[in-house]
Amino acid sequence: MSRTAYVTDLKTLQGECTANYLRLTRLLGELDAGEIREVELLRGGRRLGALCIEVLEQAPYTTIAQVSQQGVLDQMIETPRMRVHLYHDVRMAEVTDFQRQRHFHGRYRYPNARMHQPDEKLQLNRFLGEWLEYGLAHGHSVDLPELP
């Protein structure tokens, strides 16, 4: 039985990165370098934690942000943390660092030493998209005043 190699689906990856750019810019608003936006995550009236987005660096064409989550299990498990590059000229946001691992390739041979999935880069960007979408749908900003 022959196995076919995984081929990177650039169209899907670019679509995910474009959608993540839109989600992140909605959540970030007008934050400058060094500022943090915390979005309290609620489900059924219960607090699940907070989605934290910190702007690490800002340049005319690129912003680097760190996306992390704080919650009740912080002392027991390592909470998710990503570094995301927002490319303003092409309106895309890409995960470049996840849990201190950097520079993900478009595809990996499987199995590999780090046990990355063949489409690891796409999966990380999808995870970011689901995470941000949850924050947009169920989150409440804790650092902005409430509107009357």
In a domain, 19, yes or no: yes
Mean of the pLDDT values across residues 8-17? 87
In a domain, 1, yes or no: no
pTM, full prediction: 0.78
* pLDDT at residue 118, as a whole number: 59
In a domain, 7, yes or no: no
The residue segments making up the domain with residue 92 are 14-139
In a domain, 4, yes or no: no
The number of distinct structural domains making up the chain is 1
In a domain, 47, yes or no: yes
Cβ–Cβ < 8 Å for 53, 24 = yes
Tell me: pLDDT of 145 over 50. no
Burial state string for 74-90 with b = 16 or more CB within 10 A and e = fewer than 16: eeeeeeeebbbbbeeee
Distances in whole angstroms, Cα of residue 118 to Cα of each of 5, 66, 97, 114: 9, 25, 17, 11
